[in-house]
Chains A and B, each alone.
Chain A
């Protein structure tokens, strides 16, 4: 095997660190997806596009001369209302329907978002400069942009805040009750319609945070939303719904996989590798489940 990464141990360290820091970011997006999947039973294909939109909000602030790091506060607030409006316009009509309908409907939303972002922000790859510099480790052989560390820290903070909010607040309890049994929650006086709207809004807000962080650590482009959707989908099916530690671990695992695939297969196959991993995981899951069902046969 003639791969550079196996010859240079420092590259390995580099890839691992990059992967873990990136994975934390993925886990944040996946947590949003798990939330709305668990509560509303909807798979949101537009998840990645919400992320990119959140990123463009931070980028707009950067263009206006405000430091893009403030995006992690502004972007979720705006995105909450975007998510809320999206729910009121489309999602509330597909909540109780067949899952395929929700997939197709959110696919349509994703196309609209992509195109609108393309109009407003242009089709160029952009990045918001945070000016945080880089940290050098191990005699300058491993470079670590401070923005990546910043983004990982912010993601963890927001995730912790959200967990506490879901545990303690009234709305959080209502959301969890609806996830357990929507009908029973309705009978007990929970306004499920409001809960759904809030859930979708919170999901969009999480996407907004992740997007703002992506705008300073990675790059933005109107059409790169779908890989983020697929990544979060993958993380959720590996980790299961409502299992936050597992979401974090599988997010990091995915980040590691991607960084190593990047070095081994080459950057042009990176997205392809992500999608192949999705197919592989689903097929693996199918064979594992079919073993469980075998006694029926």
Chain B
């Protein structure tokens, strides 16, 4: 049962989300980015924060989703190899109906295939613990980029132009609005899903795996099964997010756009940590803050943005590993439903 206070909050947020592209008409692309970033951070948190398996490799599913959406969208109506060879729009033109059918089916495939891939490789990869898992997934993400850059049918090194928005729709606002509402829909879906998980037994199991996997196993939890399911949940939304971003950017490069471990792959980890791992609102707040910070700062420090990004990573990781929510939790524990025994706390402070 949703409390009345929450109901007001959620309906307010949804109204804000629906009105945003009309209120901030010039920033539609940025808002779409924001939605995608929040989805990525939230689903990374599901297995990075809740399950304790810090993955650098969710970019694999993101890039996979991107390539799949575009490939399906083209391949449904035209020969894919000729499309990528000609660099896209010159020879073939999608009609309006074809475009929307294509992107619909493409997104469906982009959600399902990465989920299956996650399930298939999950048994092998999720058996790794701690830093071995982190490095292995880092390797997976980069290997995927390198390999995709060598495959001819999806454009190899020269990239893949995704189908342009149908020219028959003359309204200049339409493209931005379409992608914004698409990403907003995915965001709402992801939020409802994650919120549901937060109230379920599944989350407790994930937390048990994070806190002590061997003990969880000894308690009779089939840890491997739940780990794989947790990863598949992340993969599902990463694939969707990737598909939308491919359509929005309009051009897929193997290492700079799709399997962009240097940007998106790090961003999703960073945003979740900035907001606070293992909380529902943490990644959302982290992603929003990060996006504002990035967009505000990037233009002023042109050329230096990666230096700033690197410094930011170091500072956040070294000084705020608990994130914003962790800091708030430390400061106002009552708000998080924690009861603090003053005597006990004082005793602990004295011990230090």
Contacts and interface: CB of A to CB of B under 8 A. Distances in A.
A122 interface: no
B313 A119 contact: no
A3 interface: no
Interface in B306-325: 306-307, 309-314, 317-318, 321
A101 B142 CA distance: 20
Interface SS of B by simple majority: helix
A272 B311 CA distance: 28
Interface in B112-157: 124-125, 127-128, 130-132, 134-136, 138-140, 142-143, 146-147, 149-150, 157
B54 A100 contact: yes
A218 to B, nearest CB: 18
B317 A105 contact: yes
A230 interface: yes
B266 interface: yes
Nearest to B150: A268
Given A282-B128, A282-B135, A94 B318 contact: yes
Interface stretch (A75-83, A125-133, A283-291): A283-291
Interface residues of B, number: 38
Contact of B262 (A111, A116, A119, A283): A111
A108 interface: yes
Interface string A94-124: 1001111101110111111111100100000
A241 to B, nearest CB: 13
Contacts of A105: 313-314, 317-318
Interface stretch (A155-163, A173-181, A201-209, A273-281): A273-281
A93 interface: yes
Contacts of B306: 111-112, 114-115
B66 interface: no
A272 B147 CA distance: 6
A276 B314 CA distance: 28
Contacts of A272: 143, 146-147, 149-150
A103 B150 contact: no
Contacts of B143: 272, 275-276, 278-279
B187 to A, nearest CB: 26
A275 B138 CA distance: 9
Contacts of B321: 97-98, 101
B337 interface: no
Contacts of A278: 135-136, 139, 143
B303 A119 contact: yes
B241 interface: no
A226 interface: yes
A269 interface: yes
Interface in A199-236: 226, 230, 233
Interface in B286-334: 303-304, 306-307, 309-314, 317-318, 321
Contact of A111 (B131, B149, B310): B310
Contact of A268 (B130, B135, B149, B273): B149
B269 interface: yes
B124 to A, nearest CB: 5
A275 B127 contact: no
Interface in B222-243: none
Contacts of B266: 107, 111
Interface residues of A, number: 42
A108 B140 contact: no
A233 B135 CA distance: 9
Contacts of B131: 43, 99-100, 103
Contact of B317 (A108, A276, A287): A108
Contact of B140 (A90, A113, A279): A279
Contacts of A269: 146-147, 150
B316 to A, nearest CB: 8
Given A101-B317, A105-B318, A275-B146, A111 B136 contact: no
A226 B142 contact: yes
A284 to B, nearest CB: 9
Nearest to B128: A286
B318 A275 contact: no
Contacts of B262: 111
Contacts of B54: 100
Nearest to B142: A275
A66 interface: no
Contacts of A285: 132
Contacts of B157: 268
Contact of A107 (B127, B147, B303, B313): B313
Given A90-B314, A111-B306, A115-B307, A279 B136 contact: yes
Chain A CB within 10 Å — which of B124, B157, B262, B318 has the most?
B318
Nearest first, the 9 A-B pairs at minimum CB distance are A108-B313, A272-B146, A112-B310, A275-B143, A111-B310, A108-B314, A278-B139, A115-B306, A99-B131
Interface of B: 54, 124-125, 127-128, 130-132, 134-136, 138-140, 142-143, 146-147, 149-150, 157, 262, 266, 269, 273, 303-304, 306-307, 309-314, 317-318, 321
Given A43-B131, A103-B131, 6 more contacts: A103-B134, A108-B314, A111-B266, A233-B135, A269-B146, A283-B124
21 contacts: A90-B318, A99-B134, A101-B317, A101-B321, A105-B318, A107-B313, A108-B311, A108-B313, A112-B307, A115-B306, A116-B307, A119-B303, A230-B139, A268-B149, A268-B150, A272-B146, A275-B140, A275-B142, A283-B128, A286-B128, A287-B124
Interface of A: 43, 90, 93-94, 97-101, 103-105, 107-116, 119, 226, 230, 233, 237, 266, 268-269, 271-272, 275-276, 278-279, 282-283, 285-287, 290
